[in-house]
Amino acid sequence: MERLGSLKARILGLIIIVCLIACGGEEKSPSKNQNKRKVERKKVERPNFSSDSTYAFIQKQVDFGPRVPNTKAHVEAGNYLAAKLKSYQLEVIEQEAQVVAFDNTKLNIKNIIGIYKPELNNRVLLFAHWDSRPFADNDDERQREPIMAANDGGSGVAILLEIARQTQIVKPNIGVDIIFFDAEDYVDNSGSIEDYCLGSQYWAKNLHKEGYTANFGILLDMVGAKNALFGKEFNSMKYASAYVNLVWNIAADLGHQQHFDPRPTRHVGIDDHVYVNEIANIPSIDIIQYDPATRSFAPHWHTHDDNMDVIDKATLQAVGETVWAAVLEEGK
Ligand SMILES: [Zn+2]
């Protein structure tokens, strides 16, 4: 009994030691677990966002015709966009200017800025270009005629109009600035890279409010086409990779991995966010349709096929609720 008891005790002791060694890694370091818990981000909630309303906002822009600077449709569409932002109780600044295009045409442009809760310092900047391209240079025909630009222009603006509408429903405690930049696309292949993005270049050098800044910026460009893929864009990763990862994680939380591709894309050119990063010093990302596998924009890019037929509500929903969730998270 004595020996057995002693053996039992030894075995028990051995089991305890083995268990301490085997289980110790997890049991003895509660602080490590706590740290792990801290860095684990809570899944974001799905915000209300209407792709029906967004689709109608694209249709409305297209109904004006091509929104090419120095045309009647451009003036009318610009007035509509400013009035729409005002109707959602945003403070609106219409920043008018004259800029010189690649072919020396003087363009009368207007950046349209909608400001939600101007009194707050905690702010997020959302932007898209509202002008449409005067050429269809990638088309087989009518190459010198303007395109409808339902996707390349219309889709980003429409999502931001819907977010403006949602601010009045949700009333989040964060400042939101929505900027529709003009003259992003008024240049053909004879121009240089600096001839793109004339509206955002002007704004970055002439901020609508002295000392204006925001925590981060999100640019939407070609965000409404069916089965669109958004790779992690080169300049976004260069200037604001933390925000790219944040937005892509939110998209994953909401189940939109089929659109938000985790692969980085190569340099695809200059877009409005480059000047917002470089001149206005606001870390900004670009959600832009670009397929990392085929290394190309959509087939309808800069053609007459960029019309309502390419627009898909599922894509608008995925991008819209992801961006809106990112804004609401920043306000928590
Ligand atoms: Zn374009």
| pTM for this predicted structure | 0.87
Determine the distance separating the centroid of ligand 1 and the alpha carbon of 148, expressed in angstroms: 11
Mean pLDDT, residues 135-145 taken together: 95
Structure tokens at 323: 């961006």
Determine the distance separating the centroid of ligand 1 and the alpha carbon of 283, expressed in angstroms: 22
Determine the distance separating the centroid of ligand 1 and the alpha carbon of 287, expressed in angstroms: 14
Report how far Cα 203 is from the mean position of its chain's Cα atoms: 18
Determine the distance separating the centroid of ligand 1 and the alpha carbon of 9, expressed in angstroms: 79
Are 106 and 98 a contacting pair, CB within 8 Å?
Answer: yes
- The architecture in CATH of the region 68-330 reads 3-Layer(aba) Sandwich (3.40)
Distance CA 64, CA 57 (A): 11
Determine the distance separating the centroid of ligand 1 and the alpha carbon of 151, expressed in angstroms: 9
Q: Is 148 left (phi over 0), alpha (psi -120 to 50) or beta?
A: alpha
Are 125 and 181 a contacting pair, CB within 8 Å?
Answer: no
Residues 6 or more apart whose Cβ sits within 8 Å of residue 261: 229, 230, 231, 232, 292
Report how far Cα 156 is from the mean position of its chain's Cα atoms: 8
Residues linked to residue 113 through DSSP beta bridges, in sequence order? 93, 179
Query: Roughly how many angstroms between the first and final C-alpha of the chain, as a whole number?
Result: 67
Q: Say whether pLDDT at 218 is over 70.
A: yes
Mean pLDDT, residues 325-329 taken together: 98
- Half-sphere exposure for 92 (CA within 13 Å, toward CB): 21
Determine the distance separating the centroid of ligand 1 and the alpha carbon of 185, expressed in angstroms: 5
Surrounding ion ligand 1 within 5 Å at CB are 152, 185
Distance CA 330, CA 285 (A): 15
Structure tokens at 315: 């894509």
Are 328 and 254 a contacting pair, CB within 8 Å?
Answer: no
Q: Say whether pLDDT at 28 is over 70.
A: no
Distance CA 223, CA 20 (A): 55
Structure tokens at 66: 């091509």
Q: Give the pLDDT band of residue 82 (cuts 50, 70, 90).
A: very high
Residue 268's pLDDT is what? 73
Residue 40's pLDDT is what? 62
Domain boundaries, the chain: 68-330
Residue 285's pLDDT is what? 98
Please state, for a pLDDT cut of 90, what percent of the chain lies above it.
Answer: 82
Mean pLDDT, residues 199-223 taken together: 98
Determine the distance separating the centroid of ligand 1 and the alpha carbon of 193, expressed in angstroms: 13
What mean pLDDT is reported for the chain?
A: 90
Label residues 168-182 b or e (16+ Cβ within 10 Å = b): eeeebebbbbbbbbb
Are 188 and 102 a contacting pair, CB within 8 Å?
Answer: yes
Q: Is 130 left (phi over 0), alpha (psi -120 to 50) or beta?
A: alpha
Are 152 and 128 a contacting pair, CB within 8 Å?
Answer: no
- Strands 230-232 and 260-264, how do they pair? parallel
Residue 177's pLDDT is what? 98
Distance CA 192, CA 241 (A): 27
Residue 13's pLDDT is what? 44
Are 290 and 231 a contacting pair, CB within 8 Å?
Answer: yes
Are 220 and 285 a contacting pair, CB within 8 Å?
Answer: no
